[in-house]
Structure 1
Amino acid sequence: MADVQITAVDERSSSWEDDRPRFRVYVQDTGRPADVRASATTWTYDVTGADVLQVVDWAQREATGSRTYAIALVVDEGRGLVWLVGADANSTSHVPAEVDAQRRMRARRTTPVGIPAQDRMPTGVRAHGGDS
């Protein structure tokens, strides 16, 4: 956490907004609850029409048992990702920030992010394609 910085900015400094974000959810299963860094089976989904709290709620419901999840914002028509929650579970990087992200991914298996009822994904929303 030593690299975290919080800086005040002028709210008028952005030049564009996107009110229909596309989130990419990775649900990964190493088959071993203790080791997120082992090669993982991955299910990947794009989610639109929801906000980030709803996406976290849905991802947590999909990631049960030895599964972890990560969420990225899709930018540049799918050519780029901005990690919002977690990181690539298949990464073998020793960069402290990535190692910490993977540690926190494992911790969310037993201690999920608290999502208030009004921010949960509507019940009945299911993925199309894939087999998670």
Structure 2
Amino acid sequence: MRGFAVDERDSTWERDDARYRLYVFTGSDNIVTTTDIVEATIEQALESALAMSNGDEYLWSLALVETDARGMRGLIWLSGMDYNDPPTTAWEWQRRRQMQDRYLMAKSRRGPAPVLPNGLRLIRVFPEWVSGWPLWENHTDEYRLTGPSLGLSPELSDALFNWNEAWLNRQEDDPLPPGWEDEGQRLVLELRSALHGVAEVRPDFLR
């Protein structure tokens, strides 16, 4: 996120007729229901999202409906994204994270096992300033995981451990080691293969 000062007089028009589009995803196949919300503030649209998702029992996302210069309708995502679209950028992974985190938080409050709607666990990958594996699972008794506890091969387990150590063996303001992020993405692909049918692997180190 970035913020910078601007001259508030640089805008030449304003509107108050926002049209919001709410996506609610249900079931293990993420069947989507879309609802357009008009004559509403953003606060009311968010309240509708909470109500129509039954208090975050279902994944949801919210977009602003707009028409471009060609007269074609499109969306500006405000919260989340289309959950059925696989993320391809760091920004899209952050939007997927928004959706998953609020869903799992609500689920943990209700008591069931903290798994995604398709029954998969969610394993997060990001480094930390302490020695160990960069593997995490929210809302569980064992928040920080190890390679052996996930049943990973010694080779993959060691590679993940060493990847975190490469992050750790530097000063906080130092640049990342050469190739560190590319290696992280390669390890995520290996981890997905190793945990296929067990967990979704989310690369939370991407920024």
TM-score (norm. length: structure 1): 0.68
Q: Closer, same or farther in 2 for the Cα pair 1:78/1:60, shift >3 Å?
A: farther
Structure 2: gaps spanning 5 or more residues: 107-207
Structure 1: gaps spanning 5 or more residues: 33-38, 113-132
Task: Give the paired residue count.
Answer: 102
Q: Give the percent of matched residue pairs that are identical in Structure 1 and Structure 2.
A: 33
- Contact preservation (8 Å) 2:25, 2:32: yes
Match of 1:42 among 29, 32, 55: 32
TM-score (norm. length: structure 2): 0.45
2:85 maps to what in 1?
Answer: 91
Q: Does 1:6 align with 2:3?
A: yes
1:73 maps to what in 2?
Answer: 64
Report deviation, 1:102: 0.9
Per-residue CA deviation, residues 3-58 of structure 1 (Å, 9 max, x unaligned), is: x21011111111221111111111112x24xxxxxx52000011011111111111
- Provide runs of 4+ in structure 1 moved above 4 Å: none
SS state at 1:91 partner? coil
Paired residues for 1:1-132 under 5 Å: 4-29=1-26, 31-32=27-28, 39-64=29-54, 66-76=57-67, 79-111=73-105
Question: Which structure has more RCO (C-alpha within 8 Å, separation ≥ 6)?
Answer: 1
Q: Which has the larger radius of gyration?
A: 2
In 1: Cα distance, 2:43 partner to 2:105 partner: 16
Report deviation, 1:88: 1.2
Q: Return the structure number with greater helix share.
A: 2
In 1: Cα distance, 2:58 partner to 2:81 partner: 13
- Contact preservation (8 Å) 2:79, 2:98: no
Report deviation, 1:70: 0.8
The RMSD of aligned alpha carbons is: 2.0
